[in-house]
Amino acid sequence: MEASYIAAELIEHRRVARDTAILAYRLLEEPQRQPLPGQFYMFHVPGVEAVPLSVYNYSQRTIWFLVKERGETTRIIVEEAPRRIGLLGPLGKPLPPPPRGGRALLLAGGVGVAPLAFYARHHPSTLLLGVRSREYYFDTGIGCVLVASDDGSIGVRGTVIEAIDSYRIEPASYSLIIAAGPTPMLCAAYAEMKRRGVLGKTILVLEEETICGLGFCGSCLIPGTSLRLCREGPGVEARLLSSWFQARCKAC
């Protein structure tokens, strides 16, 4: 695999929700491979550090990212939109298409919608998006989106997992279920899909600290497994994640 950063230049910066922006960067060289849904880049802010960011969209050498401020690096990206950056990727395993020409149920929490919106642009899907409140919501431009908010200010009231019942969605009728979002939401998704007996066709898109992105530093080893998020993930079959669930979800 080619493991060098490619320079990219900012061509679009749009604030879309509270603490959240969409940024488009044009690669200054022809990439060896185009990103597929579920893959990510190490996004290097010169003089600061590199952070992993999922592909929100891609077209003709331009990559769109959906970024939420969490700490200093994401604050710089969202607020200052660096003009020139370095991108390493595409990294990670692409998410599989729904089998047998079926349909995927996508469960997104907050900016977890980034990889799932890219997925929904490629594969037949129903996207259930959960946000804290209306000020965190924005239109992804994808059809078939059902919305839930913790305070009921947009869509149905409740978490994205509770909204499965509110919208009378039957996960068993989908050929694939993919959840992406913060760890507490992934824990709830794991427990709920287990309860419904559909863990075997569920994938969780995990977020663990990822430093090198190339599989050698060990920072992103998924607890209880020998899987590295940056190589064997970030989308991992839920049936392989019982030890991850024990380690990460006790406090959730």
Residues that bind ligand FAD (CB under 6 A): 40, 51-54, 66-68, 70-74, 111, 114, 207-210, 234
Q: Answer yes or no: are the C-beta atoms of 43 and 51 closer than 8 Å.
A: yes
Q: Compute how many other C-beta atoms are within 10 angstroms of the C-beta atom of residue 51.
A: 23
Q: Which is nearer to ligand FAD, 113 or 198 (CB)?
A: 113
Q: Where are the alpha helices (DSSP H) in the chain?
A: 72-75, 113-122, 163-166, 183-195, 242-249
**Contact yes or no for 80/69 (Cβ under 8 A):** no
Tokens of 171: 């996960």
State in angstroms the smallest separation of the CB of 58 from ligand FAD. 13
Query: Position 191: which residue type?
Result: A
- Closest CB to ligand FAD among 100 and 251? 251
Smallest gap from Cβ 66 to ligand FAD, in A, equals 5
- Whichever of 6 and 91 has its CB closer to ligand FAD, that residue is 91
- The phi, psi pair for 8, rounded to 5°, reads -140, 150
- Helix axes of 183-195 and 242-249: crossing angle, nearest 10 degrees: 130
Pick between residue 35 and residue 98 the one whose CB is nearest to ligand FAD: 35
In the complex, least distance from residue 203 CB atom to ligand FAD, rounded to whole angstroms: 14
Token reading at 10: 């900012």
| CA-to-CA separations, 163 to 18, 138, 155, 157, 245, in angstroms, rounded | 22, 18, 9, 8, 22
Closest-approach residue to ligand FAD (CB): 71
What is the smallest separation between the CB atom of 70 and ligand FAD, expressed in angstroms?
4
Of the pair 74, 202, the CB lying nearest ligand FAD is at 74
Q: How far is the CB of 172 from ligand FAD (least distance, A)?
A: 28
CA-CA distance, 33 to 6, in Å (whole number)?
Answer: 12
Rounded to a whole number of angstroms, the minimum distance from the CB of residue 39 to ligand FAD is 9
- Which is closer to ligand FAD, CB of 100 or CB of 226? 226
